[in-house]
Amino acid sequence: MGTLVLSNVARSFGDVVAVRDVSFTVPPGTTFGLLGPNGAGKTTTMRMILGILIPDRGVVSWDGAAVTLPVRRRFGYLPEERGLYGKLKVRDQISYFGRLHGVPAPEDTRRADAWIERLGLGEYANRRCGELSKGNQQKVQIACAALHEPELLVLDEPFSGLDPVNAETLHSALRTLRDAGTTLILSSHQMWQIEDLCESFCVIADGTVRASGTLTELRAAWPTRIVEVEPVAAPLRSVLEAMPGARRLPDADRPTLAYEIPADADTAALLRRLVAAGDVTRFERVDPSLRDIYLRAIGAAA
């Protein structure tokens, strides 16, 4: 198992700059979320990790060395656009990609059957891939990417277009790989789909890193917190309005006083002042969600 390090990588296509300057480190065996809006440079970054594209500038290293072809064969890749031979049968397709990654026969078929079983594709094993639904094709693609037990598995928008049942199956497969020690890099712009899978994140926008770290680190760096207080009463509101740096948030769907306050504000002292001012039935300090962090990082926060 190795550590993946990207140091100041950049890549342009003609006049279009896809990635300006991206650096991050993915420790071995961790699950890493690459977040960003469409066109942020996520796919280009992933392609540079996999050696499909060569960076114009910067270095991608695995275990301290350059990512060469033999190293790349130990990686797995699930591209955003699904790539399958429509006329090839499911088992043959999975075995083929396994062999390309160095899995010898008949081990390739044995592993293919195990993945077919794990992903509930048994009844389709001898069907042509072109005849399968999008969800089942996605499962086949996952099996193709993971059959060789890669050290690093890069998944570009793995949940795109999947129904909840198939998304859960994929989730389960990825958890299995994570538990087996595979380093995973997932990209998505659907936070909730990868939040519970990933241990650390990197938000990219306009080809640059806007935020990175574990969720705890990202929250720690967040400049504000939200406090929610009930009931909605004038004395309580006065206390909150008097707090330096506090900003009232739009009304929620229930009667609550919601205020954004500086992250370093003394919430214990605030609670004491509120209790002194009136009856407080609810007081909650809310940490920012990954979605909040993401939206602020890309500059789209309200």
Return d(Cα 31, Cα 54) in angstroms, integer. 24
Task: Determine if 69 is a binding residue for other proteins (CB under 8 A).
Answer: yes
Q: Contact letters (x/-) for other proteins, 128-147, by CB under 8 A?
A: ----------------x---
Strands 183-188 and 152-156: parallel
Q: Contact letters (x/-) for other proteins, 12-41, by CB under 8 A?
A: --x---------------------------
Please work out the total of residues on this chain that contact other proteins, with binding judged by CB under 8 A: 26
Q: Are 144 and 82 in contact (CB under 8 A)?
A: no
Q: Compute the Cα dihedral for 188, 190, 191, 195 and give only its sign.
A: negative
Q: Which residue from 33, 79, 207, 288 is in contact with other proteins, where contact means CB under 8 A?
A: 79
Task: Determine if 162 is a binding residue for other proteins (CB under 8 A).
Answer: no
Q: Which residue from 19, 26, 48, 50 is in contact with other proteins, where contact means CB under 8 A?
A: 50
With contacts defined by CB under 8 A, name the span among 86-94, 109-117, 182-190, 246-254 that binds other proteins.
Answer: 86-94
Strand partners, 225: 261
Task: Determine if 73 is a binding residue for other proteins (CB under 8 A).
Answer: yes
Q: Residue 58 has which token pair?
A: 């910067």
Task: Determine if 77 is a binding residue for other proteins (CB under 8 A).
Answer: yes
With contacts defined by CB under 8 A, name the span among 29-37, 48-56, 113-121, 288-296 that binds other proteins.
Answer: 48-56
Q: Contact letters (x/-) for other proteins, 264-283, by CB under 8 A?
A: --------------------
Task: Determine if 101 is a binding residue for other proteins (CB under 8 A).
Answer: yes
Least spacing, CB of residue 176 vs other proteins, in Å? 22
Q: Are 231 and 279 in contact (CB under 8 A)?
A: yes
Residue 187, helix vs strand vs coil: strand
Task: Determine if 205 is a binding residue for other proteins (CB under 8 A).
Answer: no
Least spacing, CB of residue 103 vs other proteins, in Å? 10
Residue 52, helix vs strand vs coil: coil
At residue 16, what are phi and psi to the nearest 5 degrees? -90, 120
Sheet holding 257-262, edge to edge: 247-248, 257-262, 224-230, 282-286
Determine the longest span between alpha carbons in the chain, in angstroms.
76
Q: Which residue from 28, 29, 51, 58 is in contact with other proteins, where contact means CB under 8 A?
A: 51
Least spacing, CB of residue 77 vs other proteins, in Å? 5
Return d(Cα 185, Cα 25) in angstroms, integer. 11
**Helices 134-146 and 107-118 sit at what angle, rounded to 10 degrees?**
140
Total Cβ atoms within 10 A of residue 93: 22
Least spacing, CB of residue 94 vs other proteins, in Å? 12
By the criterion CB under 8 A, which residues form the site for other proteins?
Answer: 14, 47, 50-53, 69, 72-73, 75, 77, 79, 81-88, 96-97, 99-101, 144
